[in-house]
Amino acid sequence: MAGIDEFALLRGQRYATIIIDADTGQSVEVLPDHKRATVTTWLREHPGIRLMCRDGSGGFAQATTDANPGIVQVGDRWQCAMRRLFVSPTQSGRIRKEILGSDGLPNPETVRGPQHARKATAGLRHWRRGVVGPA
């Protein structure tokens, strides 16, 4: 199982792609760009991948399909949460209350993410502002 996402090397101008082993959480490869052809080539060179966790990018979806149509593709947790919040306006209020605390930050009781995201809500407020505070 692998995860794929792009990140900015130079904001708004230059992007790279990181591929991680979703079982270990370790990075496998950093590709020099986020072009579909680059990702397709890399996936063809690594035929053992059976499941790909990716963002909503159509480029990653098409690259995965081009490389190996048998790879199962799943959306990452953030994409699923955002889709639920913004695509379904009739339920978004209830869902927001489930996912976000009263201050608009993720509620540690309902969001299970990486270890650094499990801080108490007060700690997240300080962390987001760059203030050293209670953790």
Q: Report d(CA 129, CA 29) in Å as an integer.
A: 32
CB atoms within 10 A of CB 46: 14
Strand order in the sheet with 27-31: 27-31, 14-21, 2-10, 51-54, 72-75
**pLDDT tier, 22 (very low <50, low <70, confident <90, very high otherwise):** confident
pTM score of the predicted model: 0.58
> How far is CA 63 from its chain centroid?
17
CB atoms within 10 A of CB 96: 13
For 62-75, write each residue's pLDDT tens digit.
Answer: 999 999 999 998 87
- Range with the poorest average pLDDT among 6-10, 11-15, 55-59, 77-81: 77-81
For 71-126, write each residue's pLDDT tens digit.
Answer: 998 877 666 666 665 655 555 566 556 666 666 666 555 555 444 444 444 454 44
**Rounded mean pLDDT of the chain?**
74
Q: Are strands 72-75 and 27-31 parallel, antiparallel or unpaired?
A: unpaired
